[in-house]
Amino acid sequence: MLPLRFIREHEALVRERLSARGGDVPLDELLELDNRRRQLLTRVEGLRAARRKVSRGIGQASGHERESLIAQTREVTAQLGDCEPELGKIQTDVERLLLEIPMLPHESAPVGDADHPGQVHFCSGAPAPGSQVPPHDEIASELGILDFARASKVAGSGFWIFRGAGAHLQRALVQWMLDFQVQEHGYRELYLPALVTRTAMTNAAKLPKFAGDSYAVDNQRLWLSPTAEVALSEYHAGETLDAAMLPAKYVAYAAAFRREAGAAGVETRGLRRVRQFDKIELFNVTTPDDSYRTLERMRGEAEAVIKRLGLTYRVREVPTGDLGFAAAKQYDLEVWSPGAGEWLEVSSVSNCEAFQTRRAGVRIRRPGSARTEYAHSLNGTALGLPRTFVALLENGRQADGTVAIPDVLQPYMGHRTQIEAEASWL
């Protein structure tokens, strides 16, 4: 969240930056409440100070003097009773509104609405036109490695079951992607809980705004993690980190759960939009002056995965109207799906600056300095598994119907070079 004082003191800037995002933000209501809050607070604090001053003498006093002092504080307490409840309500409301205000877009983020394609930053090569590749779900069912019908019996719509080489290929992807980030880019691997607290969800800025997009459990006390980013951003909550040890680089393999309410149709066919999917998440904690350099580095670390898999891809510099709630700047990485004839987002890399760390209380202290400041946090996918799987099937499909396995994955697949049709399954 944004600091209230910053909003108050830089109202024009905040208005301008938020308008680049579009959408309604309750800024007027917030500022009005804050004004009232400060008036009341000054009054309440004055009364409390007066009460404390008198109250301190009661211990030593006795007799009439004591009675008189108690009567005085009783009077002050009565006055407090008139304004403290209102102050409490206002503070609750201010807090609630503050949570609804998104991160300010960075000045370098291209201005535009959600339908704006953004700026295509880099393209590894134009997709081959007029391709005859069937969509991934057809390829997969020919091979017998993917089963939607049975998955819907088990869990309803939005799920799938991998069989045989399909399951193996996903496992290989997970293993390789983790090893790659650890070995090539110096990441530390974490394994995280799939259930996260309401507090973690709120601090990561997934609540209250996006409550409807996630699954709640145990009377909303816990939530099924919609992304490993939630657990990762809470990992250092309440800690003051040594700035000399930064950046902290974490990689985690985790399932992500999303309700995807109302999503159905051609665009969601097959594996493209599902309610449970695996991904490899990158997360960095940095000093404020290093976060934009880190953003570029992380984009490169995610791109490297796509390159090694030999996929056609592009990088979108996400326009202000399409930024994530907590993101000041964001890159989306998209791979080409020849079967569907469209770009599929397989990664999103964001700099959230201090938006999450302020909520979670992640601070840093620089060597030799007594004071602390908020760290910056960045998250990125590298990569989302199902859509990567789609692209691998469609790009790797060979004339005989088999699918070539990328070189980097072969060691993880028992040195097989291709996937053939699975035989003898029930």
- The footprint of RNA (CB under 7 A) covers 3-6, 9, 38, 41-42, 44-46, 48-49, 51-53, 55-56, 58-60, 70, 73-74, 76-77, 88, 368, 370-372
Q: How far is the CB of 420 from RNA (least distance, A)?
A: 34
Q: Decide if 335 contacts 313 (C-beta within 8 A).
A: yes
Q: Decide if 197 contacts 217 (C-beta within 8 A).
A: no
The nearer residue to RNA, 70 or 178, going by C-beta atoms, is 70
The nearer residue to RNA, 265 or 368, going by C-beta atoms, is 368
| Calpha distance 418→163 (Å, rounded) | 15
The nearer residue to RNA, 88 or 300, going by C-beta atoms, is 88
Q: How far is the CB of 350 from RNA (least distance, A)?
A: 20
Q: How far is the CB of 352 from RNA (least distance, A)?
A: 16
CA 328 to each of CA 2, 17, 216: distance values in angstroms, whole numbers, following the listed order: 12, 10, 27
Task: Give the strand pairing for 188-190 and 248-257.
Answer: parallel
Q: How far is the CB of 201 from RNA (least distance, A)?
A: 15
| Calpha distance 387→337 (Å, rounded) | 9
Q: Decide if 298 contacts 269 (C-beta within 8 A).
A: no
The nearer residue to RNA, 5 or 415, going by C-beta atoms, is 5
Burial of 107 (0-12, 13-18, 19+ CB in 10 A): exposed
Q: How far is the CB of 317 from RNA (least distance, A)?
A: 24
Measure the N-to-C terminal CA separation of the chain; round to a whole number of Å: 53
The nearer residue to RNA, 59 or 265, going by C-beta atoms, is 59
The nearer residue to RNA, 55 or 124, going by C-beta atoms, is 55
| Calpha distance 262→275 (Å, rounded) | 12
DSSP string, 352-406: -TTHHHHHHT-EEE-TT---EEE-EEEEEEEEEHHHHHHHHHHHHB-TTS-EEPP
The nearer residue to RNA, 82 or 407, going by C-beta atoms, is 82
The nearer residue to RNA, 369 or 417, going by C-beta atoms, is 369
| Calpha distance 299→349 (Å, rounded) | 6
Q: How far is the CB of 5 from RNA (least distance, A)?
A: 5
The nearer residue to RNA, 74 or 150, going by C-beta atoms, is 74
Contacts of 415 (CB under 8 A, 6+ apart): none
Q: How far is the CB of 255 from RNA (least distance, A)?
A: 16
Q: How far is the CB of 244 from RNA (least distance, A)?
A: 12
Long-range contacts, stretch 94-100, CB < 8 angstroms, 24+ apart: 94/4, 94/30, 94/33, 94/34, 94/37, 96/208, 97/26, 97/29, 97/30, 97/33, 98/1, 98/2, 98/4, 98/30, 99/1, 99/202, 99/207, 99/208, 99/209, 100/25, 100/26, 100/208, 100/209
Q: How far is the CB of 36 from RNA (least distance, A)?
A: 12
| Calpha distance 351→367 (Å, rounded) | 24
DSSP 78: H
* β-bridge mates for residue 333, sequence order: 315, 347
The nearer residue to RNA, 84 or 345, going by C-beta atoms, is 84
Q: How far is the CB of 269 from RNA (least distance, A)?
A: 35
The nearer residue to RNA, 3 or 401, going by C-beta atoms, is 3
Q: How far is the CB of 331 from RNA (least distance, A)?
A: 24
The candidate with the shortest Cα–Cα distance to 203, out of 325, 121, 301, is 325
